Amino acid sequence: TVCRSPEMLELCVLLFPGLVCPLEVSVSSGSIQVARGQTAVLPCTFTTNAALTNLNVIWMVIPLSNANQPQQVILYQGGQIFGGAPQFYGRVGFAVTMPTTSASIFINNTQLSDTGTYQCLVNNLPDRGVRNIGVIGLTVLVPPSAPLCRIQGSLDVGSDITLTCSSEEGIPRPTYLWEKLDNVPKLPPTATQDQVQGTVTLRNISTVSSGLYQCVASNAIGTSTCLLDLQVIAPHPRSIGLIAGAVATGAVVLVVCIVLVAVALFYWKNKHKEEEEEEIPNEIREDDLPPKCSSAAKTFHADASSSENDTLTSSNTYNSRYWNDPKANHATDSFTRFSNSNDAHQPPFSRSGSTSARPVYANGGHPSPAPPKTLVVTASTAPSPQEVI
């Protein structure tokens, strides 16, 4: 039989004097939650059939922040109370006056560092028990600290922006809820919200998106808020005009440049073509030799005034390549004069083809017929010689 209370212990002693009830420790709850700064009470009771003159009670904690280093919280031994780790000094005590079968303690002004697993260890000789340790957990809760609200992205019309909200403290971890105070529904239909990360994304913002936004951070023991005034920047009409003017000016300059380049190319090509056409007629080939006088003669009849019995033979060669060089057009060998004994007294040949001839008289003063006159002209371009008498 197990004696679980002082009343049962007395009953066991009366009914079964030779039976000793073993020592047993119990706790009323497996864990306790308390807000930071408040007082936490950690319950612990035990049963024993021996006197409490040799009672020893010790509380230990395994901190959540450092599970490898257990710390002493408080100790009762030999009718005296001893403190534990420095962090508990002045804040920890037994809930009731010792000695008693209640070993509960209190912790004032709880801190985050108080969170951990606590052990209540009881010894009361000569009683010995296998269940002389009680375990209870303590969690210190922290409400969300004042969150920080920020804007990420450009505030120009048409941009996408993200509103962020975060608290440095909060146990358990807070959740976040964004809402627009002067709008129903609370957020635009296209908004995307993440309550765990505390973000909300607004797409394609406009002046309608401007307004006061609120972020609410909350957990099991408290809430905290922050406000954000969003003002979307509308494009200034003058700025729009300047941008449009700049674009138009750039387009005009580009068109002018293209036209100038096209005109320059057209002019250059025409000029180059003209130079090529001018160079072709003036080409002089070295293997082109000047023509020589041909023996073939084109004979024609001409009226020319000269001396009696005077015959003039002339050979002229015409060539466009040597027109400007008189020496190349005439050969002295082309002229053959046939005359009689009076050759020295004949008048010179006239270029005009008409000279005044003096009449020749013979045998009594009658003019005698002049001998026939022949002019022979040789041309290199003549296809075949012709003779006219």
Task: For residue 81, give the 3-state DSSP assignment.
Answer: strand
SS3 content of the chain, % helix, strand, coil (to 5): 20, 30, 50
Mean of pLDDT over the chain = 75
- Which regions of the chain carry the CATH code 2.60.40.10? 6-141, 148-230
Query: What's the residue count for the chain?
Result: 389
15-18-22 Cα angle (round to 5): 95
Encoded amino acid at 190, one letter: T
**Residue 282 pLDDT exceeds 80:** no
pLDDT at res. 335: 41
| Cross-strand partners of 117 | 62, 137
For 133-188, what is each residue's pLDDT tens digit?
Answer: 999 999 999 999 999 999 999 999 989 999 999 999 999 999 999 999 987 778 88
270 backbone dihedrals φ, ψ, rounded to 5°: -65, -40
CA distance 215 to 225: 5
Mean pLDDT on 329-353:
43
**Residue 302 pLDDT exceeds 80:** no
For 14-34, what is each residue's pLDDT tens digit?
Answer: 555 445 557 899 998 889 999
| Reported CATH class of domain 148-230 | mainly beta
Q: Which residue has the tokens 């060089």?
A: 325
Q: Are 375 and 304 in contact (CB under 8 A)?
A: yes
Tell me the CATH architecture of domain 6-141. Answer: Sandwich (2.60)
Encoded amino acid at 83, one letter: G
Q: Which residue has the tokens 């913002």?
A: 205
| Cross-strand partners of 242 | none
Give the DSSP letter string of 159-221. --EEEEEE-S--BSPPEEEEEETT-SSSS-TT-EEETTTTEEEE-S--GGG-EEEEEEEEETT
For 253-262, what is each residue's pLDDT tens digit?
Answer: 888 889 888 8
CA distance 389 to 383: 19
Nearest partner of 190 among 181, 199, 200, judged by Cα: 200
For 263-278, what is each residue's pLDDT tens digit?
Answer: 888 877 787 776 666 6
- pTM comes to 0.53
Task: For residue 227, give the 3-state DSSP assignment.
Answer: strand
CA distance 327 to 1: 163
Q: How far apart are the first and last CA of the chain?
A: 181
Q: Which letter does DSSP use for residue 324 in this model?
A: T
pLDDT at res. 265: 84
**Residue 334 pLDDT exceeds 70:** no
For 49-102, what is each residue's pLDDT tens digit?
Answer: 889 999 999 999 999 988 889 999 999 998 999 999 999 999 999 999 999 999
